[in-house]
Chain A
Amino acid sequence: ETGVTQTPRHLVMGMTNKKSLKCEQHLGHNAMYWYKQSAKKPLELMFVYNFKEQTENNSVPSRFSPECPNSSHLFLHLHTLQPEDSALYLCASSQALVSGRASPNNEQFFGPGTRLTVL
C-alpha cells in the first residue's frame, strides 16, 4: 500500500457505541493529523502528533481520544458521540514539524477519509 490509508471508509454508530478510526501512512513521515470536515464548514484541525507526541489539541471534546503508537499509525477512539459529530474525518501526514521554522515539511498528504454517521 502506498500513501495514507484510512479504515473504515464509512461508519455508522449509535450514540452509546465505542468505535475507532485507523490511519496508516507509508511515506516515512513523522507528523500525523486528524481533521474534521462538516458540511459547509472549513476543515477543522483536531489533533497533531509530531514524533508520536501530541503537540496540538484544538479544544476537542473528550469523547474523541487520539492515540499514536508509532509514527506510522494514528487512531481516533470514539465514544458517546453526538449526532453533530457526523462528518468526514480526514487523516494526514507530513515530514516532521520544526518549531519556529517553515519548511516544505509543512506539506501534508491526506487519506481518503472516514465518513462517520452518528444516529
Chain B
Amino acid sequence: AQTVTQSQPEMSVQEAETVTLSCTYDTSESDYYLFWYKQPPSRQMILVIRQEAYKQQNATENRFSVNFQKAAKSFSLKISDSQLGDAAMYFCAYGGGADGLTFGKGTHLIIQP
C-alpha cells in the first residue's frame, strides 16, 4: 500500500519570504501522480499543483513550484513570496490507478505579517 509522509506538522514564514514544505511517499509503482492540496480556514480543499511521475521537469504554478525527486520518493512544495492568503493546511497526496488518493497528515502553514 502507498503511504505519504509529511514530517512538518506546522511551519511558519514571514510574509514575502520563501518556504518549503516536505513530503515523502512510498510506492512500488512507476507511473503515478502527486498532488499538493491547500485547505484554508474555510475547509474547502483546493488543488495547488500536480506532478506526473514520468515527467522529469518540476511543475510550476505561479509562486508555487515543486522539487520532485523520483528516486528519493520526495515531493516538496516551494512557495515563493509568501502572502497572507497562503495560510492554510497543505496536504500532499499520491494518486495512481483505481485507488483514489492517499493523503499525508498535512502541514499547517502560518504566515507572519
Check A102 against B100 for contact (C-beta < 8 Å). no
Interface size on A, residues (CB 8 A): 30
Which of B31, B47, B52, B53 has a CB less than 8 Å from the CB of A101? B31
- Chain B residues with Cβ under 8 A from A45's Cβ? 100-102
Interface residues of B in 66-113 (CB under 8 A from A): 91, 95-106
Check A42 against B105 for contact (C-beta < 8 Å). yes
Segment among A63-71, A77-85, A108-116 that sits at the interface with chain B: A108-116
- Tell me whether B44 is interfacial, beta carbon within 8 Å: yes
- Tell me whether B25 is interfacial, beta carbon within 8 Å: no
A41 vs B106: C-alpha distance when bound (angstroms): 9
Check A98 against B47 for contact (C-beta < 8 Å). no
- Chain A residues with Cβ under 8 A from B98's Cβ? 50, 55, 97-100
**Closest chain A residue to B103 by CB distance?**
A43
Query: When A112-B42, A112-B43 are in contact, do A106 and B105 touch as well, CB less than 8 Å?
Result: no
- Tell me whether A23 is interfacial, beta carbon within 8 Å: no
Interface size on B, residues (CB 8 A): 28
A-B CB pair tally, cutoff 8 Å:
72
Which of A48, A88, A103, A109 has a CB less than 8 Å from the CB of B100? A48
Query: When A43-B103, A102-B31 are in contact, do A110 and B44 touch as well, CB less than 8 Å?
Result: yes
A5 vs B78: C-alpha distance when bound (angstroms): 30
Check B106 against A102 for contact (C-beta < 8 Å). no
Check B103 against A106 for contact (C-beta < 8 Å). no
- Chain B residues with Cβ under 8 A from A106's Cβ? 33, 35, 95-96, 100-101
Most-contacted residue by chain A among B42, B98, B101 (CB, 10 A): B98
Check B43 against A102 for contact (C-beta < 8 Å). no
A92 vs B53: C-alpha distance when bound (angstroms): 23
- Chain B residues with Cβ under 8 A from A43's Cβ? 91, 103
A115 vs B44: C-alpha distance when bound (angstroms): 12
Interchain residue pairs with CB less than 8 A apart (25): A31-B100, A42-B105, A43-B91, A45-B102, A55-B98, A97-B97, A97-B99, A98-B97, A99-B98, A101-B97, A102-B29, A102-B33, A102-B52, A102-B53, A102-B95, A102-B96, A102-B97, A104-B50, A106-B95, A106-B100, A106-B101, A108-B100, A108-B101, A110-B45, A113-B44
